[in-house]
Amino acid sequence: MTFHKLLIANRGEIACRIIKTAHEMGISCVAVYTEADTYSPFVRMADQSIKLSDSYLNGNEIINAAKRTGAEAIHPGYGFLSENAKFARAVRREGLIWVGPNSRVITSMGDKLKAKDIAEKAGVPTLPMTTDPKKAYTIGYPILIKAAAGGGGKGMRIVEDKKDLKEAIAGAQREAKTGFGDDRVFIERYVASSRHIEIQILGDSQGNVVHLGERECSIQRRHQKIIEESPSPRVDSEMRAAMGDAAIKLAKKLKYESAGTVEFLVDDKTGEFWFLEVNTRLQVEHPVTEEVTGKDLVYEQLRIARGEELGYSQDDITWKGSSIEARLYAEDPSNDFLPATGTLIAYESDANIDARWDTGIEQGSVVGTDFDPMLAKVITKGKTRVDAANKLALALESLHIGGVTTNRDFLVASLRSDDFLEGNTTSDFIEKSNPQRAVVLEGSSLENATSAAALWIQGQNRENANILKEIPTGWRNSRLPRQKITLSYLDNEVEVTYKANRDGSFAVNEETTAKVINWTPSGIDIEINNSRFYSKITQDDDNIVVHGPWGDALFKILPRFTLPGSEVQAGGLIAPMPGKVIDLKVKVGSKVKKGDTLVILEAMKMEHQVKASEDGKVTKVLIKKDDQLENGALLMVVDN
């Protein structure tokens, strides 16, 4: 069953990741892409690329692309069609090799209700649940509503009180229908102080199964993981053995082939664990397992797909050190982690820091609403967990990024928090630890950033000068006013004045002395009041991203003369993110109470409810159902 050409039915960072290993194995790669991904790096990395007419969910078109290019195998990555049993069957029916478990296993595990039943029969403990909303009280509040098909946080709601149950079920069903084409949901006990621990398994066609230890994925927002690690600080050797045995027992009952993950919920206080689901694919967080075991999981998937035996037993699996992964998202942690869009003006990691960057974007990439907002996975390994956490925080801090709001600062704050470093990483970590959501520059940090920006722009202007270029900076034969530049930062104007001194330094804002050690088109090495730092700087039209010890700051260079701007209408309710209107709860004349849901928006297949901030009456409605909105669009006017 050997193959020489592989089609990757996915995009972004996972497509890049698969291509890398396949090329190391001498396997040629075919990419498929849509119009939105025309300029994406994975398309260039592939040996051939086929443009799809509509989406990555068109299984027939993807299979035709494989046959057209002579690809003998298809790797689905994760998301999209990776857990679609119908697609897996169609691939094999066409004589192609499917890199993953067979469709029977995907079908049984893709339905969480069937999966629970199989787990129980295999002797694996499961949480109390019901499919009947009228019996929710038998479980006891709080409860968790979950989609029967699919995962990734879609179709999931926590319900604290019976009065919220009906609306929560309706929202979960809509989201599940959109994400998975199946609106079935069920109700399960919610364990507030818990940990999400998953066991990585590998199985071959000869019946051999091993586990590669655990990953902890407890730190989540909007029911989606953002920080994962291996090993877990909560799991000892006894618990690892018990969970590993349970995972292998279930895998053998399923006759599992390929890579997969058995996910468990662990009560942090008692150590009791319950089966949650089996992910019949490669997981986003698989790199941390690779780092501590030395096993390339894509390599193992491709070997198993060729019919090869694992060639090792459970006793051969060892773990070394600690590895942590953070997911860098285009989102706004200060605004309930809502997705963000825009163009990446700057995107450059520090090559001197030992970190693994699994990414599918680059400087200039456009982040839209078509796909998941994850920009990159950043992975580090250390001899100890604290070493890995510190390295990861440093790698993120050193990233030069701008043009799109991200969760970078939040991730750094989380990794450097006492709770994280002490291993207190339960599922309520964000609520309990409340890491800083964003870095807002003020005081000396703001002055240093704006000074660096102003003097970099001054150097840029001199570099581009066509006349008198050899005249020393600041030379003058008369008394002239200071040079001035005005920057906008978080809607506030910051004025920077400067003049060159005879010794080559600059007097900035009268009281500050700055000396430019070196200027380049990509940054400035500067000393301000005897404190020296290097600042990476990227300019795009009137936007400038300035990186330094404070992280990154995005400034807008304001023109010397500005036209009056338009005013926001009083009482206006604006869209907190770009998205589609999927439900409009009010009309002109509706009376609303503070906290009432007025509009439901959908972006990246996740729902967000726009609620009333105060009591009032709707006097204008400027949108309708199915409208596609930009961030900040005026939705309606609510008067007191």
User: Residues with catalytic annotation?
Assistant: 281
What are phi and psi for residue 458, nearest 5 degrees? -60, -45
Question: 3-state DSSP call for residue 495?
Answer: strand
Closest CA to 429 of 153, 189, 196: 196
Signed CA dihedral, 245, 267, 389, 198: sign only: positive
Other C-beta atoms closer than 10 Å to the C-beta of 223 total: 17
Residue owning tokens 């890049």: 16
Complete edge-to-edge strand list for the sheet that includes strand 97-98: 48-51, 28-33, 5-8, 73-75, 97-98
* Residues in CB range of 46: below 8 A, 6 or more apart: 8, 15, 19, 29, 30, 31
| Tokens standing for residue 385 | 């967990």
Does residue 189 contact residue 143 with C-beta atoms inside 8 Å?
yes
Pairing of strands 224-230, 506-508: unpaired
Closest CA to 217 of 266, 158, 161: 266
* Residues in CB range of 50: below 8 A, 6 or more apart: 30, 31, 32, 33, 65, 68, 69
Q: How many residues are given for the chain?
A: 640
Closest CA to 355 of 306, 415, 280: 415
| Tokens standing for residue 16 | 């890049």
C-alpha to C-alpha distance for 280 and 106, rounded to whole angstroms: 6
Closest CA to 105 of 258, 2, 244, 311: 258
What does the buried/exposed string (b/e) look like for 335-346 if buried means 16 or more CB atoms within 10 Å of the residue's CB?
eebbbbbbebbb
